[in-house]
């Protein structure tokens, strides 16, 4: 059962990454997993801008945060495009390919819905686990 859910659109440009982080931090003030949630949303927002049509002029992306009793669901809906999100080993030259691996390591589950018209990349945090590890 969902306790609450908030969503907000952001312009698909770099300053929105910080704004999206602040949005999540404000919503999750006092929650155990706030740092992890900020990091995940920051990676997903960066990807939406860099790798999807959300980064084109006039593009935008939607950040959603859904709270359950001991779970947080985070999602970033982008405007799609030809490439698909995939977590892979970082390139040998050390450039890129770490964001989704980080998301996978912080979350208990993550995935992608959608197609070239728009994709939601989502991740789930176990807040009971996060609370216990502090």
Ligand X SMILES: Nc1ncnc2c1ncn2[C@@H]1O[C@H](COP(=O)(O)OP(=O)(O)OP(=O)(O)O)[C@@H](O)[C@H]1O
Among 36, 38, 78, 126, binds ligand X (CB under 6 A): 78
Which one of ligand X, Mg ion, none interacts with residue 121, CB within 5 to 8 A by kind? ligand X
| Lateral strand order in the sheet of 4-11 | 4-11, 60-67, 71-77, 118-126, 109-115
Q: To the nearest 10°, the Cα dihedral for 70, 76, 81, 84?
A: -30
Contact 48, 78 (CB under 8 A): yes
Min CB(99)–ligand X separation in Å: 3
Q: In terms of CB distance, is 25 or 101 closer to ligand X?
A: 101
Is 86 a residue that touches ligand X (CB under 6 A)? yes
Which residue number, 12 or 99, has a Cβ lying nearer to Mg ion?
A: 99
Nearest alpha-carbon partner for 54 in 85, 23, 26? 85
Per CB under 6 A, residues contacting ligand X are 47-48, 50-52, 78, 81, 83-87, 96-101, 119, 121
């Amino acid at each position: 059962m969902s306790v609450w859910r908030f969503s907000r659109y952001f312009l698909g440009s770099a300053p929105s990454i910080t704004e999206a982080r602040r949005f999540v931090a404000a919503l999750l003030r006092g929650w155990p997993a706030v740092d992890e949630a900020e990091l995940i949303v920051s990676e997903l927002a960066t990807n939406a801008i860099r790798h999807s049509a959300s980064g084109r002029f006039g593009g935008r992306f939607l950040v959603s945060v859904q709270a359950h009793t001991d779970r947080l669901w985070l999602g970033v809906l982008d405007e799609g495009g030809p490439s698909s999100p995939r977590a892979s080993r970082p390139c040998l030259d050390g450039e890129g390919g770490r964001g989704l691996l980080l998301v996978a390591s912080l979350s208990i589950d993550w995935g992608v819905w959608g197609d070239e018209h728009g994709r939601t990349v989502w991740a789930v945090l176990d807040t009971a686990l996060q609370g216990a590890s502090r």
